[in-house]
Amino acid sequence: MAEDLPLFELKNVSVDYFLSGKSYRAVHNVNLKGHQGETVGIVGESGSGKSSLARALLMLEPISSGSIFFQGTDLQELSSSNLRKLRKHMQVIFQDPDASLNPRRTAGWHLDEVFSIHFSQVPSQKREELIVQVLHTVNLDQTLVSRYPFELSGGQKQRLAIARALLLSPKLLILDEPLSSLDAQLRKSTLNLLKTIQEEEGLGYIFITHDLSTLGAIAQKVAVMYRGSVVELARVHELYSDAAHPYTIALLSCIPIPDPQAERARKTLTFPQHSPILPVGTGCPFAHRCPYATAVCKQSCPPTQEISSGHFVACHYPCPNLIVRQGGSVSSSGPQNCIGPGC
């Protein structure tokens, strides 16, 4: 594989759904790519199209326009049997592990099922060896194989789901809010586990979350989604220090601070809730909530521009001088470099 060949690449991908005879856009012209061993974070509020984008990448959702490549192969050109074969390399872990577990079957059965479906020729002794190995990788005790899902904790079920995915030796793991149902300590240990697996196996990850604070620990770059569009894309530390889209700034200012006094004193960017199923108009999708929106924002959709190397923003007034201070208040380093009306 050529060194710079992306593991996956989405080019101008859109997904439309139909509700009561009307179509609306859940994913709008998204461009995104990631490499082997890299974690691409996708962040955005509920309903912003993160899961639809993941399903589109897996070709589980028909796309209305655009192209999807996996290791240079255009997925739309594959026959359904070749697509099925290639999907083994792209595994997905969901927020709720229960959704993929049969309550009447043991943990061991769930692991063995992977072989029954995909590698039926593997003899039972080899299956057992591989199952022991994968349980070790995800730090699950072997004695758990005889337990039913209701006898496992949330963290154990999530590890079981990860183990099942790993048995297929995937190249890409799509982690769709994998930590949301876990408590703080389990979140940390699962995150560490995922990092270790990635280092050892060289997997690419897509890590979907509504919590921007998690991504600093795992992602190299982050796409911020708002109403189906990627409004900002940057390396994670640049996003934390130089976020340029008002929506990203708002997300950053929502990260809780453990000091109650500082939390009470902080200023956050607030805006009204929206209906995610509003049709996408001609203007900026964030204009009706943006504290800095002008008439231009309501009339025309901002093009995506590269404001520094690898840092893309879809805003008429990208404002890298807006600073989210420790404590969440927002200020600008001055109008001299900034073209935004918020400065």
48's contact among Mg ion, ligand ADP, none, with CB below 5 to 8 A by partner kind, is ligand ADP
Q: Is 303 exposed, middle or buried (0-12, 13-18, 19+ CB in 10 A)?
A: exposed
Ranges of beta strands (E only) in 6-119 are 8-19, 22-34, 39-43, 65-70, 73-74, 90-93
Residue with tokens 């990260």: 255
Site for ligand ADP in 68-127 (CB under 6 A): none
Ranges of beta strands (E only) in the chain are 8-19, 22-34, 39-43, 65-70, 73-74, 90-93, 172-176, 204-209, 221-226, 229-235, 304-308, 311-314, 322-324, 330-332
Token reading at 258 = 């453990």
Q: Give min distance, CB of 174 to Mg ion, in A.
A: 11
Q: Give min distance, CB of 320 to Mg ion, in A.
A: 29
Binding string to ligand ADP for residues 270 to 299, with x set by CB under 6 A, is what?
------xx----------------------
Contact with ligand ADP (CB under 6 A): which of 37, 47, 66, 154? 47
Site for ligand ADP in 1-20 (CB under 6 A): 17
Q: Does residue number 51 form part of the binding site for Mg ion (CB under 5 A)?
A: yes
* Between 20 and 185, CB nearer to ligand ADP: 20
* Between 112 and 176, CB nearer to Mg ion: 176
171's contact among Mg ion, ligand ADP, none, with CB below 5 to 8 A by partner kind, is none
* Between 50 and 187, CB nearer to ligand ADP: 50
Query: How many residues in the shown chain lie near ligand ADP by CB under 6 A?
Result: 12
Q: How far apart are CA 48 and CA 232, in angstroms?
A: 13
Q: Does residue number 50 form part of the binding site for ligand ADP (CB under 6 A)?
A: yes
Q: How far apart are CA 331 and CA 334, in angstroms?
A: 9
Query: For residue 33, what are the β-bridge partners?
Result: 9
* Between 51 and 248, CB nearer to Mg ion: 51
Q: Does residue number 25 form part of the binding site for ligand ADP (CB under 6 A)?
A: no
Query: Could you tell me which of 172, 224, 157, 235 has the C-alpha nearest to residue 202?
Result: 172
Contact with ligand ADP (CB under 6 A): which of 1, 4, 46, 121? 46
Q: Does residue number 52 form part of the binding site for ligand ADP (CB under 6 A)?
A: yes
CB proximity list for 198: less than 8 A, separation 6 or greater? 37, 39, 205
Q: Give min distance, CB of 180 to ligand ADP, in A.
A: 11
* Between 53 and 165, CB nearer to ligand ADP: 53
Q: Give min distance, CB of 176 to Mg ion, in A.
A: 6
* Between 159 and 227, CB nearer to ligand ADP: 227
Q: How far apart are CA 43 and CA 214, in angstroms?
A: 10
- What sign does the CA torsion over 113, 118, 121, 126 have? negative
For residues 307-319, one letter each, b for 16 or more C-beta atoms within 10 angstroms of the residue's C-beta and e for the rest, the string is beeebbbbbbbbb
Q: Does residue number 209 form part of the binding site for Mg ion (CB under 5 A)?
A: no
Q: How far apart are CA 135 and CA 159, in angstroms?
A: 9
Contacting positions for Mg ion (CB under 5 A): 51
Contacting positions for ligand ADP (CB under 6 A): 17, 26, 44, 46-52, 276-277
